[in-house]
Each structure stands twice: as structure tokens, then as C-alpha cells.
């Protein structure tokens, strides 16, 4: 039977599992085994020195500095779900784009008055401060969480070494790189990537098939995976 392996951090993996189940995937066809965990990084900062925030991942909101909660500080976000979560914490959030690259293109028009502070993890696909270094808009980075690699369970590795194909949704470049470093033959398995950049990393890792979501969000990822399960079941 086809199987889906979710390697996102625990909370996000369970959210996506619920999304798949709502779309008709049987719970016993889903395994959750995170390949990384999110942990806070102590990062003192004078938040009053900044005119706004940049949030490119909902992970940053887990460790939002207390001084910012309920502050109504302007917050420029990647993704609608992240924007909604930022509003729930009392930020004046704007959904400007669905990718970090597109956010960089939109920011100079949306905000001419800096400096802005990018709250991010240790691993990122785009260094915002470096991107804007020679631009009129001033942006600085603040690492407030880290993405720590976690070994997959022995049972998961055994299944991945078996003959049955597994579908792996891959939501981040960090996950794709960690999967690619494992001593596994990925050719029997299929990756479903959140973006073309992540799809390219999955192809480098050697996945036999790589599909890319039409948009970089959970619903679009589920829309790719659910038909795959139907086809494989048929």
C-alpha cells in the first residue's frame, strides 16, 4: 500500500497530516518522523530600533520576542497562513508574497522606511540583510530559532530501504538537504516539493520522481499528494 512520510517538525507535521486526512487520505497511510526540530536561540535585541518586521516562516512566530506581542508593529510576511498567525499575536501583518524571493521584490514598494528586522532561523534560503545591503531599504537579520537535525527512526529507515514506494512531502530546503545526506537510495520514492528550488534539491538527492506544488502552501501540497494516493491505490 502507498505510504506518506512526513518529516516536518512535530507540530507542523501533525497539521499537515490533518490536512491530508480531511482530503480523504487514510490515517494509517501516514507516518510522522521529523528529520529536524525547532529550538529557540537566545537573541537579545532592541526591537524599538526597527520600523517593522519580516517573517518568512511561521517558526519565527513561536519565539516572537515578548515585547512584540500585541504591539501592532508592521510585519511583512511570506504566506497567508503565516500572516494570519502573526495577526493572532497582535502584529499588523501584511501578506506580501508566497516566497521569500517575491517578498524581496515587493518590499521596496510596500515599505520605504526602515530599518526592518528579519526574524529567522539559522538556516535560510535567502539572506535578507545581504540581499538589501546595497539598497535604500535597510534590513537586518536576527536569528531567533535553529533547525536541529534529528535522526530518523530505525523503522522508518527500514521502510525506506524496502521495495514499497514512499511519498515524501518536502517543505523546506533544510529538509531536502538533510534527506539527501542520508545513505539511502531515493529512486523508488517520490518527493512532493513546496517550490521549484526545493524540487531541484530533491532531484539532486536522487528521488525517482519529483512533483512541485502549484503554490507554496499546505493546501497546494495536499492537492498534489491526494491524487497520487488515488492512482497508487487504483
- pLDDT for the residue 231: 46
Divide the 234 residues of the chain into consecutive groups of 10 and give the mean pLDDT of each group.
89 94 92 96 85 93 90 92 94 93 92 89 91 92 95 96 94 95 96 95 96 93 88 44
- pLDDT for the residue 232: 45
- pLDDT for the residue 181: 96
Q: How far apart are CA 86 and CA 29, in angstroms?
A: 32
pTM: 0.87
3-state secondary structure of 171: coil
Q: Select from 181, 233, 170, 171 the least CA-distant residue to 205.
A: 181
Q: Select from 59, 58, 20, 23 the least CA-distant residue to 167.
A: 20
| pLDDT tens digits for range 14-63 | 999 999 999 889 999 999 999 999 999 988 878 888 999 999 999 999 99
Q: How far apart are CA 81 and CA 195, in angstroms?
A: 16
All domains of the chain, ordered by start, with CATH? 3-35+150-233 (3.40.50.10090), 38-147 (3.40.50.10090)
Amino acid at each position: 500500500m502507498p505510504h506518506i512520510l512526513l518529516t516536518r517538525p512535530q507540530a507542523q507535521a501533525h497539521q499537515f497530516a490533518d490536512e491530508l486526512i480531511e482530503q480523504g487520505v487514510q490515517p494509517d497511510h501516514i507516518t510522522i518522523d521529523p528529520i529536524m526540530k525547532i529550538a529557540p536561540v537566545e537573541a537579545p535585541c532592541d526591537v524599538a530600533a526597527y520600523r517593522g518586521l519580516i517573517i518568512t516562516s511561521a517558526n519565527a512566530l513561536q519565539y516572537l520576542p515578548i515585547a512584540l506581542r500585541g504591539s501592532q508593529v508592521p510585519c511583512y510576511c511570506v504566506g497567508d497562513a503565516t500572516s494570519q498567525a502573526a495577526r493572532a499575536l497582535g502584529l499588523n501583518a501584511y501578506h506580501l508574497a508566497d516566497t521569500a524571493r517575491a517578498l524581496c521584490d515587493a518590499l521596496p514598494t510596500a515599505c520605504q522606511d526602515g530599518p526592518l528586522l528579519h526574524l529567522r532561523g539559522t538556516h535560510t534560503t535567502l539572506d535578507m540583510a545581504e540581499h538589501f545591503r546595497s539598497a535604500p531599504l535597510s534590513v537586518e537579520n536576527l536569528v531567533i530559532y535553529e533547525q536541529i537535525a534529528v535522526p530518523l527512526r530505525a523503522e522508518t529507515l527500514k521502510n525506506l530501504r524496502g521495495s514499497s514506494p514512499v511519498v515524501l512531502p518536502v517543505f523546506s530546503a533544510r529538509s531536502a538537504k538533510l534527506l539527501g545526506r542520508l545513505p539511502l537510495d531515493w529512486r523508488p520514492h517520490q518527493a512532493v516539493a513546496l517550490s521549484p528550488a526545493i524540487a531541484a534539491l530533491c532531484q539532486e538527492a536522487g528521488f525517482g520522481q519529483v512533483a512541485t506544488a502549484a503554490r507554496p502552501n499546505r493546501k497546494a501540497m495536499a492537492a498534489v499528494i491526494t491524487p497520487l494516493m488515488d492512482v497508487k491505490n487504483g
